[in-house]
Amino acid sequence: MEEKQHKQHNEHHFTSSDTVKDIVIGMSDGLTVPFALAAGLAGVVDGTTLVVTAGIAEIAAGSIAMGLGGYLAARSEAEHYTNERFREQQETRYRLADEEQEIIDIFSSYEISPTDSRPIVEALKKNPEIMVDFMMKFELGLEKPEPKRAVTSAGTIAGSYIVGGIIPLLPYMILTNGHSALLWSVTVTIIALFVFGYLKGSFLGTKPWYSALQTTFIGGIAAGVAYFMAKILS
């Protein structure tokens, strides 16, 4: 019972951390790229209409590219797992002696003698499906993907990109003067990047203040370079 609870706890931990990672992937880029693009354009065009148009077009393109990208990555991960599992099942059935040797080799790399690992091999041979599970994890290092992961991952990444991307555009939507909108966008986005970085650090177990500074730094560099590239070109 204790063992089962321990497992459930681990699985729960793994799932929520995957969602947090997807939010971080989407929002890191969402807060940074539309912000930097808008800052770049605000430096070279009059008014705010074109900045908003370009910003929204970027958010549409970026969220689709990242969301569909996330979907396909998660789906091909699931396909890869299925294919490799099938291969291990075939090997366990038709080349059992090779599989036994592979298990002995895995343990040998931890300086465990064939005599000491032999009981493990014999125990696994009693149940071929469990032997396959064992090889998936310890030979190939693959975890069984969650079935709904591809869709939720895509939605989470795309949604986070849109939420992150709207924040730096809000001042351009509200104000008509391009220069004031730029100043407000920089102020609002630096605060948002700082808060996001702090929360990201807290959730993923790195130092929150350090993460806050890093996230703000990336956004600042991206916006600064985009601003100067646009200035040079126009």
Residues 182 to 201: which contact a second copy by CB under 8 A?
A: none
* CB closer to a second copy out of 180 and 214: 214
Residues near a second copy (CB under 8 A), total: 74
Rounded CA-CA distance 198/22 in Å is 16
- Contacting residue, 56, 166, 175, 213, with a second copy by CB under 8 A: 56
* CB closer to a second copy out of 4 and 148: 4
**Over the Cα atoms of the chain, what is R_g?**
25
- Nearest-approach distance from CB 127 to a second copy, in angstroms: 6
- Nearest-approach distance from CB 232 to a second copy, in angstroms: 9
Q: How many Å from the N-terminal Cα to the C-terminal Cα in the chain?
A: 68
- Show contacts with a second copy in window 114-173 (CB under 8 A): 115-117, 119-120, 122-124, 126-127, 130, 133-134, 137-138, 141, 143
Q: Retrieve residue 219's tokens.
A: 């956004």
* CB closer to a second copy out of 53 and 177: 53
- Contacting residue, 22, 23, 26, 40, with a second copy by CB under 8 A: 40
- Nearest-approach distance from CB 36 to a second copy, in angstroms: 3
- Nearest-approach distance from CB 144 to a second copy, in angstroms: 12
Distances (CA, A) of 61 to 54, 56, 57, 123, 172: 10, 9, 6, 53, 19
Outline where 95-177 has alpha helix (H). 96-108, 114-125, 128-138, 149-174
Q: Is 80 among the residues that bind a second copy (CB under 8 A)?
A: yes
Q: Which of 232, 181, 163 is nearest to 39 (CA)?
A: 181
- Contacting residue, 20, 50, 163, 188, with a second copy by CB under 8 A: 50
- Contacting residue, 81, 89, 91, 107, with a second copy by CB under 8 A: 107
One-character DSSP codes across 168-201:
HHHHHHH-S-HHHHHHHHHHHHHHHHHHHHHHHH
Q: Which of 123, 138, 130, 118 is nearest to 89 (CA)?
A: 130
- Nearest-approach distance from CB 147 to a second copy, in angstroms: 19
- Contacting residue, 15, 16, 76, 202, with a second copy by CB under 8 A: 76
Rounded CA-CA distance 100/122 in Å is 9
SS3 state of residue 48: coil
